[in-house]
Structure 1
Amino acid sequence: MRMFNMNDNTIGILDIVIRSILSVLVLFLLTHLLGKKQLSQLSFFDYIIGISIGSIAASLAIDDEIPYLHGALGILIYGGFVLLSSYLSRKSFRARKFLCGVPTILIQNGKLIEQNLRKARFHINEVLEECRNKGAFSISEVETAILETSGQVSIQLKAQKQPLTPEDMNISPSAKGIAANLIIDGTVLTKHLTLVNRDDNWLKEELKKQNVHSPQEVLLCSLDYNGTLHVDLKKSDPVPLDVLE
């Protein structure tokens, strides 16, 4: 039976303490070199590198088989890639486009761009959620929606929907509700129709008024709180104004 050795235990604990302090110091130094960025401002590449650096730092702190120098060197090498990509992005437009990507227009002139949704791997419900997060509870209120390289979605409301202070206008605004989605990706949401006191026949007639012969042609159809029907057709994308590269 092996006798418990207090000396070995103390040395092991001390080694972990030293390793942890070393990893934190290296990370602190690296953070100052890389500059300050919020998580939402990180590119996908920066995010992956950050995870890798954190993993190496954690391994260095508790794995006594990793030499101090090797662990610190691994963290610095990964950090060097971030510094290099940052430098190249500042110096070269092509490098910036390759490393950071470019913004993707999801809605233009109030129209969903289906091909860009596929490209960005966004489905309609995600776009609607992003719009609601920005205060637009109906897609008909949105002029432009842009998926930024950080993964955030920027929303520009239509001119008539831009916020005004009611007090400045000396008016008492009426309450607004949310838009009811009636068709998504060609599928009629019968339950939603019932909730807004409408039926399939009403929907068919309204679609005919807009020269739409089948729900299968519709990418998104929603009924605003004021009773206006917004219809966005499949394969009717406007030419994307890719002026954000």
Structure 2
Amino acid sequence: MQEWLEVALRTLTAVVILFVLTKLLGKRQVTQLSVFEYITGITIGSLAAYISLDLEANWYLGIVALVVWVGVSLGAEFLQIKSKRFRNWIDGKGTVLIKDGKIMEDNLKKERLSTDELLEQLRRKNAFRAADVEFAVMEPSGEINVLLKRENQPITPRHLGIKVGPEQEPQTVIMDGVIMDEPLATIGLSREWLKTELEKLGVAQENVFLGQVDTYGQLYVDLFDDLIKVPEPSQKAALLATLKKCEADLEMFALSSEDKVAKEMYGRCSEVMQEVILEVRPLLTG
């Protein structure tokens, strides 16, 4: 067999085996790597190159080495799951860099991290002043995570005492102009509903590049033709306006009614409606 053909066949074999073994190792091997996973990646790559190019050696020995190394990696991952002590020994522990708003200089030296590098990592977390940070830790993967001081954290409904219901993931119901039946069925909608919504927006199904339905049943579409402007869905705004109108009508009935019992009933209903509007306003204006 000619050398170039043998190299091609060996490379193809190495690629297939490497792909299968990497899938076996899992997603962690292609995300943030620990020290052991970093070494594993380099070694597996070197062994794959050995299988492809070393024509004087028996290529199956490289495959044996690959399988053994992957087996060791899988065993190490299993032990990491079962034993915290082994996990700490392999991956290491997180290092606190900022605590109670104070930079831990000794820990910076321990991780060989300069002040400029720390500030760069803080900026990546949208913390442009060290004084805004309450706590920062370097994870075993090398990533730095930041907790801002309470006064610098963004306001959420929880801070305002507002309870917000769970929000489901949006369902993609149109992709490349084709209706996706399974996502429609997941949210309990039909093709007829979808076509009606498209008619309301004045767009054709064939011109929809992407269509998604959110938690509240509103359809958002992006068109192939970027020059066409699609109106924003208005169901939530219309519902809020309807609720406000009901509250106003109840208040008017309470003021205009001469019957004392009816006046009190309309007044109580108006107050209840006001409370409902306050609770649902964040959902309908978001």
TM-score norm. by structure 2 comes to: 0.52
1:135 and 2:147 are equivalent in the alignment? no
Shift of 1:39: 4.2
1:41 and 2:32 are equivalent in the alignment? yes
Provide the aligned length of Structure 1 versus Structure 2. Answer: 157
Q: Which runs of 4+ in 1 moved over 2 A?
A: 37-41
Map 1:59-98 onto structure 2 (within 5 A): 59-98=50-89
Which consecutive unaligned segments of at least 5 residues does structure 2 have?
A: 161-286
Distance 1:65 1:49 in 2: 25
Would the aligned equivalents of 1:40 and 1:151 in 2 still touch at CA under 8 Å? Answer: no
Match of 2:138 in 1: 147
Map 1:1-245 onto structure 2 (within 5 A): 11-37=2-28, 39-164=30-155
SS in 2 for 1:41: coil
Distance 2:29 2:153 in 1: 28
Aligned residue type for 1:68:
W
Larger relative helix fraction: 2
Shift of 1:101: 0.6
Higher relative contact order (CA 8 A, sep 6+): 1
Distance 2:88 2:132 in 1: 31
Distance 1:29 1:157 in 2: 42
TM-score norm. by structure 1 comes to: 0.61
Distance 2:150 2:41 in 1: 40
SS in 2 for 1:80: helix
RMSD value, Cα: 1.7
1:188-211 Cα shifts (integer Å, max 9, x gaps): xxxxxxxxxxxxxxxxxxxxxxxx
Do the aligned partners of residues 100 and 106 (structure 1) sit closer, same or farther apart at CA in structure 2, a change above 3 Å counting? same
Would the aligned equivalents of 1:108 and 1:143 in 2 still touch at CA under 8 Å? Answer: yes
Computing the radius of gyration from Cα coordinates, the structure with the larger value is: 2
